[in-house]
Chain A
Amino acid sequence: QSVLPQPPSVSAAPGQRVTISCSGSDSNIGNNYVSWYHHLPGTAPKLLIYDNNKRPSGIPDRFSGSKSGTSATLAITGLQTGDEATYFCGMWDSSLNSVVFGAGTRLTVL
């Protein structure tokens, strides 16, 4: 099982900006589209970003995604207490011939 590194946790105050990174390689992030998800225990994961930087309908523009080389970043601005959750990345890995996911980052809004 291949899981991409993400920081285990990040924290910031309400109203501030936070970034969450996802590190990979040419076979995954470097040459494939990245998506980001929001997850609370006991609930269905929710798509936040797809195709590196696109937002599905209904996702506020406080959430943005970017990619540079073999790293991807999710940025959340104007943090709210309701943003507390685990965030993880996902993409195809061309070497493994499998979808791979990030390890997940727990966001705490202080």
Chain B
Amino acid sequence: QVQLQESGPGLVKPSETLSLTCSVSGSSISDNYYWDWIRQSPGKGLEWIGSLYRGGVTSYYNPSLKSRVTISGDTSNNQFSLKVTSMTAADTAVYYCARRKGATFFFDYWGLGTLVTVSS
């Protein structure tokens, strides 16, 4: 059974950098999958942040967030991470990690999500 679990701070100050980690079990991040981050701000729809392919072969980002986002992989611990710089209140959201299969862009496993609040 594939499981993903997000971890990281629940509170970040404005202008700081958010760092989140997704721990994966039941599947290797080096397998032929994409490992994605998605978020949902309060009262808004889901927003795709970006993805990592095969543990770090390459990464892809939402053009609207690309300048502030980095996704990287740690194959030794079977984890992948998200960094978002220059956080503002608009970045307050539930952040999900998910596994995506192939080129047809569907997510077959998701984490529970972690709420990140940006506030001083």
Does B110 contact A44, Cβ atoms closer than 8 Å? Answer: yes
Other A-B pairs, 12, CB within 8 Å; known A47-B108, A92-B105, A99-B48: A1-B44, A1-B64, A35-B104, A45-B96, A45-B107, A47-B109, A56-B108, A92-B104, A98-B48, A99-B36, A101-B46, A104-B46
- A–B Cβ pairs within 8 angstroms, 29 of them: A3-B45, A32-B104, A33-B104, A35-B104, A35-B107, A37-B107, A44-B109, A44-B110, A44-B111, A44-B113, A47-B109, A50-B101, A50-B104, A50-B106, A50-B108, A51-B106, A56-B108, A88-B45, A90-B105, A90-B106, A92-B105, A97-B63, A98-B62, A99-B38, A101-B45, A101-B47, A101-B48, A103-B45, A104-B46
Residue interface bits B60-102, CB-to-A below 8 A is 1, else 0: 0011100000000000000000000000000000001010010
Chain A residues 74 to 106 lying within 8 A of chain B, measured CB to CB, are: 88, 90-92, 96-104
B11 close to A (CB within 8 Å) = no
A43 close to B (CB within 8 Å) = yes
In the complex, what residues of B have CB within 8 A of residue A104's CB? 45-46
In the complex, what residues of A have CB within 8 A of residue B98's CB? 45
**A80 CA to B63 CA, complexed, in Å:** 40
- B3 closest partner in A (C-beta): A44
How many chain A residues touch the partner (CB < 8 A)?
Answer: 28
- A37 closest partner in B (C-beta): B107
- B46 closest partner in A (C-beta): A101
- A36 closest partner in B (C-beta): B106
